[in-house]
Structure 1
């Protein structure tokens, strides 16, 4: 299998085994996940130890009202997912939770990239319809 890598600012094509290609693809996926996690928690809440050391405060703890609201939101999300077909739900969760792109999901499910995009969009429309 041939892949393209960047070495010293130059792109080179290299022949590698399928195992190496799978490993590199998994590494790319993990890097995307890490990047999204960093974006999601950029406000600094991930540094609880730093906050405790510098400000002498305990880490954030949700109030009972916030916990109830979180539970209600989770119940609403699960209710919307229950309205979807099994195929739509599977494709949406692979996309949203496991960070697979549409082409990868299409390969796993044995369908086209466009079919995956349509399934994901159908689930999104249901969410927007319920939550707006």
Structure 2
């Protein structure tokens, strides 16, 4: 697989997101109500923009963490598919160990490495 694997999301990142969400969302709602109140009354649009930024900060951070989790799952799925091999048949000699895979021809051999021995001519291309 090309590229670096994505970094996993740590528990501390989720806790930081939860703390941001708990702090900024009520603070943004309170700021909107306070800035829209008659003594200050800076205007509904400015108060809404200020409150939306305060609420958007933890929301965007949480979406980024969720996308990272999805990227990690996609990466592991690609790894599983890239290195998946079909189940190997059992050796005809000992009927216990799995057969060897020939990487040059892309086929299963009839014997395992124990039954084939070290003198086999194609051992450089065998897996198992």
Counting helix residues as a fraction of each chain, which structure ranks higher? Answer: 1
Counting strand residues as a fraction of each chain, which structure ranks higher? Answer: 1
Asked if TM exceeds 0.5, the reply is: no
Class of the TM-score when normalised by the shorter of the 2 chains: under 0.3
Q: Scaled by the length of structure 2, what TM-score is found?
A: 0.26
